[in-house]
Structure 1
Amino acid sequence: MAIESKKSDSGSAWLFPGAACTVPYLAGMVLVFAGERLVGTPQAARLALDAAGAAAILWALAARAANWLRTEGERRSVEGRILVSYAVGAVSLLLYALQADPIWKKSQALLGLEKGQAERVRTALGVVWPVVWASAVLPMLFMEVSYASMARAPRIEKRRVAYSAASGLTIAWVLASLFLINYAAQGHNRRWDLSLGRTSSPGEEAGRLVSGLKDSFEVLLFYPDVNEVKEELAGYFEGLKRVSKQFQVRSVDQVLEPKLAKELGVNQNGSVVFRYGDRKAVVRFGLTAAEARSQLAKLDQIFQEKFLELVSTRKVAYFTVGHGERSYEQFGASEKDPRAPLKGLRSVLKGQNFELKILGVGQGLASEVPDDASLVLVVDPGGDFLPGEIESLRRYLDRGGRMWVVLDPDRRSNVADLLPEYGVRFVGAPLANDTHYVRASYSKADRYNLYTNRPTSHESVRTLSNNSARLAVILLGAGSLEKTEGGKGAKSRVEMTLRSMPETWRDDNRDFEAGGPGEAKGNFDLCAAVSLPVGEPEGQLAERKEGPPSKDGKPEMRMIVLADGDALSDQVIANLGNYYLLEDGLKWLVGEQKELGTILPGQDVRIQHTKKEDVWWFYGTVFAVPLLVLGAGLGYLRLRTRRRQGNRSK
């Protein structure tokens, strides 16, 4: 290249244009990259590219140094800064070269590094050299562009070049930060998935259950080494592994360990085994994401159910039958029964490690409630119990039994006559409200579809009480409850746990209108929690396997009475208010608030907005956000202009 000689008004001379230095410098970088990353072999081609690249970089350094020596003043200062960037970029390549096997072995021997120390130093070099390279090359490019625009100017704006260098350095460090964050993320394996259908993460209840482990609980993932479903499962269980040392997770390939797989009942990969002592449970997820998607979405629910099934004590819940009760197996007990079933209630009970059984005359209810009964449920009966059955339930309660009675205004049963003995009376007139109700048919009949968010502070409605602003219980044609005096009720502790909304009335004439005789508006009780100390020694109570003692250690009877047959049915159990009414009620009845977890469906809930909310979202994203960005930009430009004007005035 022909050497030029120019002179500025300040008398500074320089030799090579910026492009004559920077283009060979960048070309040399590209040649070294091609030799190291693209060619590799044969060795001769790699060395040739490396040598050519090094020669180009040395040429650029020499040319830039010549410029720096021949210039003066602010131009010399700018040339010096660019020369430093060139040199730092060359140093980054030297750091990269240190990682090459022949050079690294000699460096390791020279420094006397042990194997572990050497690996850490080599890893550090692999992280440092790209950061150094970006911190040199990007500011250099920004300075070169700014400097080129002033090549023929009578005076160099040194501040402008410095500002460009700072901008390039900022971008380099932002990229370096992303690089380091990605490097750290790979090492620590933390993931956040906000998409619909995501794998559920360990909930607070799952962590609480695991933290209470006293013996080893093992999770075995039967998957090949590389599998996308295995990665999702491992991410979930590793989060729980950090909670307790008793919680163990390991991966097993069924093909490589067929004996262990056969012992645990696994005949192919794609399954997860939960093992606690000599008890185990196997869940099939599948090998592909498409096959496992639905299971992964409710993984937290599945884990809690299996955990409680293996760890907690097995309990038995009896459903009374033979008196027109609701069925938990099909929609209605017969073709003439249109009532919604109790499949949701059944799922919750199974999730809490209850074994479900039926109890009627054929199962001995007319003589005695079985000794293994942890809970008896009488759900929406429509017929009378035999005197012997009523007497069996009475004896069961008197010796400390636990029972949930659900009654409905549309159905009559003499089991309601048992309740006043324990301080509660069921009133069969349906409740109505013309303000607080749920629309279904858009007729006056909807006034029977009540909702309420007025629980008390009783243990059986704890979640509803703590979240009354967000949760409400739906009741479809509810009756009401009243306290009674005399008999066992004098010793019973009766607490009304759920009240109706204001302006509710008893619709005695069933015309959906208030104002009839005795139809004054007010507040009515919908659910009651009854407890009664029993005189039987605690040891005998434990032998019968009925409800545990109360907080003071004395045995007691517990019963919940609910004045709506639909409140626990599949028609409304998906409503969180009804779900928690059931969930916390079960915990209080069986006296295991600390043991039982709150198992919620782990499936995604789509985000939905009302029409009014959609309008705000639309205008906010179309107008508000761009205006905020524009305003911030204008404010920054104005501040920058004021600073420049201040500097010029100085």
Structure 2
Amino acid sequence: MSFLMVTCQVADQRNVQRDVSYFKTSSPGESTRKMVTSSTDPLRVLLFFPDANEVKDQVKGYFDTLAADTGRLQVEVHDRLTDAELAGKYKVIKDGTVVLVRGAGDKEKSQTIDIDTDINRSRTPNSKLRNLDREVNSALLKVLRDKRKIYLMVGHGEMNDPDSTPADIKSRIPQRTVTILKKRFADLNFEIKNLGLLDLSKDVPDDATMVVAMAPSVPLQAAEWASLERYLDGGGHLLIALDPTGNTSLGPLEGKLAIKMLPGHLTDEANFLPMRRTVSDRRMVLTNQFSAHASITVLSRATDRPLILNDAGALDDAQYTGKPEAAPKKTVTIRSPESSFLDLNDNFAFDSGGDKPEKKQRWNIATAVEGPKVGTKDGYRALVFADVDLFADIMVRDQLGRPVMLMWSDASAPLLDNSIQWLAGEEVFAGEVVSEDDKPIQHTKNQDVVWFMLTILGAPIILLTLGLVGTTRRRRSPQKAEVTQ
């Protein structure tokens, strides 16, 4: 006991924490390699670092790999003081600057990435070195093409505009933030513009690459629906994410896209994320039911990393109301597990009888829609999701207990990135972007039971077995003869 007390006293006085987590720089991802390969102009990477620097070694290793994989990249290492003229040309004023250069002369374009040269600070969460592939991916987009515009709808109580939610329904609409969503739009080289009633009732602006509607909680006006229809008829691109707690109507677009949202909340008594340890966790459904489509390129390969559907709804076919020759092509990209059901009486339990019998099946969660070509011009593209929370922020803790803000869908795969790339006609860039950030550990209910049993029963059984083996060996070993004088 005295020994334990002394040990505790020493530990309290020498309370030193060390970060012993595994660390390495992210390697070039599939999307980044595709971007470099697609460039018709020469690409150069200028690294401005001190001679002896561990961060420089990590960064150079990343770009050397990218150059070897693509054969389209020239990597140069410079000292900003020795090569002062070159540093001045690209406005390099500190060590740790990476310059990506495309083309030459008047057509030259460049982007810089500033990286902390201290290896200890570079080990921290969300550092640029840990996320080097995403930083390079974003910078490459800016040198490969001009910035485009995403028009984000506002004024209808959307997830991105909660202040416009009417007071009488605000209490039942969850408060969510979209910090990561907006940052990701910027990373993909898009400028975000708001699109409200005054503008949308006239027409979608001509410079819109796409329009995004994040769960309007109040219906759109007829003139707004008409503008969106005209926009699609002209080959526009539209992303709509709905929420079962808000307004689920697609208005006239239900007939145009032949899609509607069903009433009820997606619930599952077997495949769910036990986050709060209450029956409400059944609304956090885990699914790995994905089809092969460019809008979910990475997700379709990540069947070992289930997607979290947080209080989702479900989509179904609606009657098509347009001309037969203009009928859209639809592809269901995400489905729920077959054990899921739509909870119609809000009791978080499956009820097969009563006035509103519930049914277990694979429900449609997301659908990609393509319109026919208009002459030589490609037809419209639309993505409809029955779960807006896929694009909402969530604060979690990583494996070391550090707080990390993610997008719900990021825990599985970059769903937003691939969706935007497909809508914008840039699916050639679709692929995984590598990050070495520690991801939160997620277990299903059944997995938690297994881990609990292994912890409670498995460890004692292992210790008991080792003890029995040791005792048996000692008993069976021949005793040495005692030598007497």
Tell me whether the two structures share a fold, i.e. TM-score over 0.5. yes
Q: Does 1:289 align with 2:289?
A: no
User: Does residue 387 of the first structure (1) align with residue 222 of the second (2)?
Assistant: yes
Q: 1:242 aligns with which of 55, 68, 79?
A: 68
- Equivalences for residues 297-316 of structure 1 within 5 A: 297-316=130-149
Q: Is the 8 A contact 2:302 2:412 kept in 1?
A: no
Q: Equivalent residue for 2:365?
A: 526
The structure that is helix-richer by fraction is 1
Structure with bigger RCO (C-alpha 8 Å, 6+ apart): 2
Q: Call closer, same or farther: CA 1:382–1:259 in 2, change over 3 Å.
A: same
Alpha-carbon distance between aligned partners in 2 of 1:210 and 1:613, rounded to the nearest angstrom: 47
In the aligned structure 1, how far is the partner of 2:115 from the partner of 2:266?
47
After the TM superposition, which residues 24-43 of structure 1 pair with which residues of structure 2 at under 5 Å, given as runs? Answer: none
C-alpha contact (below 8 Å) 1:215/1:246 kept by paired residues: no
Q: CA deviation at 1:479?
A: 1.6
Q: Residue 213 in 1 paired to residue 39 in 2?
A: yes
* Partner SS, residue 505 of structure 1: strand
CA RMSD after TM alignment? 3.5
Secondary structure, in 3 states, of the residue corresponding to 1:297?
Answer: coil
Which residue among 315, 324, 331 is the counterpart of 1:481?
A: 315
* Cα deviation, residue 413, structure 1: 5.8
User: For the Cα contact (< 8 Å) 2:265–2:283, is it kept in 1?
Assistant: yes
CA contact (8 A) 1:587 1:593 kept: yes
Q: How many residues of Structure 1 are paired with residues of Structure 2 in the alignment?
A: 414
| Contact 2:249–2:260, Cα closer than 8 Å, also in 1 | no
Question: 1:368 aligned to 2:194?
Answer: no
Task: State the shift of 1:250 in Å.
Answer: 1.4
Unaligned runs of 5+ residues in structure 2 are 1-19, 395-405, 444-450, 474-485
Distance 2:233 2:427 in 1: 23
Gaps of 5+ in 1: 1-193, 542-554, 631-650
TM-score, L = length of structure 2:
0.75
- Distance across 1 between alignment mates of 2:383 and 2:69: 35
Which of 1 and 2 has greater Rg? Answer: 1
Tell me which residue corresponds to 2:389: 566
Determine if contact 1:241/1:248 at 8 Å carries over to the other structure: yes
Distance 1:567 1:416 in 2: 22
What CA distance in whole angstroms lies between the structure 1 residues aligned with 2:297 and 2:58? 34
1:395-414 counterparts in 2 under 5 A?
A: 395-412=230-247
Displacement of 1:569 in angstroms is 1.2
CA–CA distance in structure 2, aligned partners of residues 315 and 402 of structure 1: 13
Alpha carbons 1:325, 1:380 under 8 Å: kept: yes
- CA distance in structure 2 between the partners assigned to 1:284 and 1:407 by the alignment: 38
602-611 or 431-440, which deviates more:
602-611
CA contact (8 A) 1:423 1:489 kept: no
Q: Does 1:505 align with 2:328?
A: no
Give the CA deviation at 1:477.
Answer: 1.7
1:603 — aligned with what? Answer: 437
Shift of 1:416: 4.3
Q: Find the partner of 2:89 among 259, 263, 270.
A: 263
2:184 maps to a residue whose letter is V
| Equivalent residue for 2:420, pick from 579, 586, 605 | 586
Q: Could you tell me how far 1:584 is from its partner in structure 2?
A: 3.1
Identity across matched positions, percent: 28
Q: Return the offset for 1:583.
A: 3.4
Contact 2:31 2:430 in 1 (8 A): no
8 A contact 1:432–1:512 mirrored in 2: yes
**Residue type at the aligned position of 2:253:** L
User: Aligned to 1:242, what secondary structure does the other structure show?
Assistant: helix
Whether the 8 Å CA contact 2:29–2:433 is kept in 1: the answer is: no
Map Cα deviations across residues 474-531 of structure 1 (whole Å, 9 max, x no partner): 2222222111223128512223222222243332222323233232322222221111
Determine helix, strand or coil for the equivalent of 1:295. coil
Q: How big is each residue's C-alpha offset from its partner over 1:414-471, in whole Å with a ceiling of 9 and x where there is no partner?
A: 5445223321111232232222222233333333222222223344334433343x13
Q: If each structure's strand is expressed as a fraction of its own residues, which one has the higher value?
A: 2
Q: Supply the distance in 1 between the matched residues of 2:166 and 2:428 (Cα, whole angstroms).
A: 35
Q: Deviations over 1:151-189 (max 9, x none)?
A: xxxxxxxxxxxxxxxxxxxxxxxxxxxxxxxxxxxxxxx
Residue 28 of structure 1 corresponds to none
